[in-house]
Chains A and B, each alone.
Chain A
Amino acid sequence: MIFRAIIALMLLAALPAVAELPVVDISPGHTKTFLVIHPHHDDHSWVSGQAGLVTKLVDAGWTGYYVRVSNDEKDGPHGYPHDDMVNLFEAREATENLGIKDVISLNWRNDYMDPTPHNEIRAQLILLIRKYRPDLVTSYHPWGHYDRNPDHRKVAKAIGEGVWLAGFANVHPEHRKLGLKPHRVPYKFYSQRFDYGKGYEPNVVVELSESNIRRKARSFWVHRNVRLRGSTGRRMRQLLKDQGLAIPELDGLTDIEAHARMQEWSMYDAARKVGGEHGIEYGEIYAHLGEWHPWPGLRDHIDSNAVDK
């Protein structure tokens, strides 16, 4: 019995911790435009995405826009309208650092989005999709059921439907009066947190360079209102000191600069860990839905038989 258990354990240990995902090539794109659609000011730059992908697209010549769906009034210590304004300001700075061209804020009430009619948010997103005609949309995962944040669920659901319905002429036909034609978004990159619940199942990894990660790392802490605290920097240093330790790279930095540096390291660390699990140096993982996702029965045929015009 014990022998069998030992063998089983050895076999288990021999298995890779995570099955490697395919590294996705970024399609050349047709309009070479992408939209990053998120409920909050800082959702673009998490461990789970999407800042690295954004910089990769921008480096490849794509034009990107960030859509902030809520007003972020709850995120910060300054009171609703001040936090709205500060967070928007920092979103502009952070996304500009990634190469995003503009930030559009829809200003729905942060953490009060549940009663907002789904169709209303979706209608706004369809309008923007038809305006910018993105080849690629990236957002939270519409089927990320374990996301605790109600704004994430609400917005992701609206996107999950919007990216497809925007392609139907009879959905909001009034858009034609503005010269906006139907447009179905062909490529979707969805991400969500994977540290609780059943997690999520990404199907691709995006390979990133050091340059991509450097910009991602910086954009993370540019959201100073919510992500930088001198007190945290101070506390970390004290914790290390109590154990007779120090990090030389933090010498000469103020507490807030130290915290910024540590935030950057955490981004590098996460990207390196993901990359390591998939045979590359740095990575971000996504659930990628390709252009023929709506027709699973036709995908193979199209892939095999479509030719250049």
Chain B
Amino acid sequence: MTPSLHRIAAALLLAGLFLVYGSPAQADDDKVVLVITADASDYVLAAGGTIAKILDDGATGYLVRVTNDDKDSWELTPEETARRTREESEKAAKILGFKEVESLGYRAGELGGVSPTELRDRILFYVRLYKPSVMFIPNPYAEYVEVLDRFYVGQAAEDARRAASLSNYQPPFAVVGLETHVTPELYYYAQPFDPRRREPESTATFVPQPKIVAIASTFGKKLAAAQALKTINHSMAMRVKDRLETTGRRLPLLDEVDEVSVSKLVEINVRKLAEIAAQDTDHAQAEELHYAGVEYQIPTKYLQ
């Protein structure tokens, strides 16, 4: 081959490499965020600020709420609870900037009886449908989370993200036009129940790493979204009050349980959660997540 041909070949090769690897990062308005949540409040309280940031930057957001929250209320039937929470969860999602909410309708607290592969494949459907650039899922590795639905959903969602890239999972999906998809970024979220939540179990090659994200700019939206979940919030307030009363105590804030006091209680909760996440950082308000990015499962030496 002549030197000039060498140069042409090299140029073509470099151009090819540039096209494949050197493209600028995906513009945010091309970005798709898919959030999987077991219940209406968990993702808001654990990751709402971070999600709002990404959506504010132009990404399109889809929320999949797996259960119908039908248990989380005070003196309402499950059916009425489910109905109200559905409306409120859609309102909360809109505040954060989501385009659409899908409610799968599984009964809250009953996911222990649902086949894990059924849950996985329901979520897999949405991964292949929306082709997200980033997913947020409940962290199934977080301990002391008594709401086991979050564990089951997190486990299923993690598996769905993996399976979505493999054509031998649900071949019928391809028949209907749902092709395989690789989601490059994954965030695991959980409220701060686990005292060891900041400890990674291993290196970035093997496990997602803790990541603290500042949310001062979107704290307002997070709070507004949390406050929109009126039925769940009222349930929380009443259960706190009930426990206090049963043991001969009272919280003056909850002497009257109404929209004002409940809203205030939610604000206290959300502010404190943001403060807990910001501890030992320079941030005023933050969220604690675990992150698996593009370098996940690529050994460090190959990244250098």
Contacts and interface: CB of A to CB of B under 8 A. Distances in A.
The answer to whether A and B touch in the complex, with CB atoms under 8 Å apart, is yes
B148 interface: yes
Interface in B64-88: 70-78, 81
A174 B11 CA distance: 75
Interface stretch (B24-32, B204-212, B267-275): B267-275
B302 interface: no
A129 to B, nearest CB: 13
B22 interface: no
Contact of B252 (A118, A201, A300, A305): A305
B144 A293 contact: yes
Given A170-B70, A293-B144, A301 B268 contact: yes
Contacts of B191: 296-297
Nearest to A120: B113
A130 interface: no
A243 to B, nearest CB: 43
A171 B108 CA distance: 9
A117 interface: yes
A172 to B, nearest CB: 10
B224 interface: no
A30 interface: yes
B146 A160 contact: yes
Interface residues of A, number: 42
Given A295-B240, A298-B268, A301-B268, A118 B146 contact: no
Interface stretch (A14-22, A51-59, A94-102, A161-169): A161-169
A128 to B, nearest CB: 17
Given A165-B71, A309-B248, A119 B240 contact: no
A13 interface: no
A309 B268 contact: no
B243 A186 contact: yes
Nearest to B110: A119
B7 interface: no
B28 to A, nearest CB: 30
Contacts of B236: 295
Give the bracket for the number of chain B residues in contact with chain A.
35 or more
A167 B70 CA distance: 14
B71 A297 contact: no
A294 interface: yes
A143 B139 CA distance: 13
Contacts of B192: 296
Contact of A305 (B72, B251, B273): B251
A93 B193 CA distance: 38
A307 interface: yes
Contacts, number: 105
A215 interface: no
B52 interface: no
B1 to A, nearest CB: 54
Contact of B143 (A143, A186, A301, A302): A143
A122 interface: yes
A251 interface: no
Nearest to B191: A296
B105 interface: no
A157 interface: yes
A297 B146 contact: no
Nearest to B82: A170
A118 B272 CA distance: 34
Interface in B221-246: 236, 239-240, 243-246
A309 B193 contact: no
Contacts of A308: 248-250
A306 interface: yes
B144 A143 contact: yes
A90 to B, nearest CB: 32
Contact of A165 (B109, B250, B251): B109
A169 B75 contact: yes
A161 B109 contact: yes
A293 B193 contact: yes
A45 to B, nearest CB: 25
B284 interface: no
Nearest to B141: A145
A295 B110 contact: no
Given A117-B113, A170-B77, A298-B269, A160 B239 contact: no
Nearest to B77: A170
B244 A161 contact: no
Among all A-B residue pairs, the 7 with the closest Cβ atoms = A118-B112, A143-B143, A297-B269, A297-B272, A297-B273, A164-B146, A119-B113
21 contacts: A117-B112, A119-B110, A119-B112, A119-B113, A157-B112, A160-B148, A161-B109, A161-B112, A165-B71, A168-B109, A170-B76, A201-B195, A292-B240, A296-B191, A298-B265, A300-B272, A302-B244, A305-B251, A305-B252, A308-B248, A308-B250
Given A119-B113, A289-B144, 12 more contacts: A30-B247, A118-B112, A122-B112, A161-B148, A163-B146, A167-B239, A170-B73, A296-B192, A298-B240, A298-B268, A307-B250, A308-B250
Interface of A: 30, 117-119, 122, 142-143, 157, 160-161, 163-165, 167-171, 173, 184, 186, 198, 201, 203, 287, 289, 291-298, 300-302, 305-309
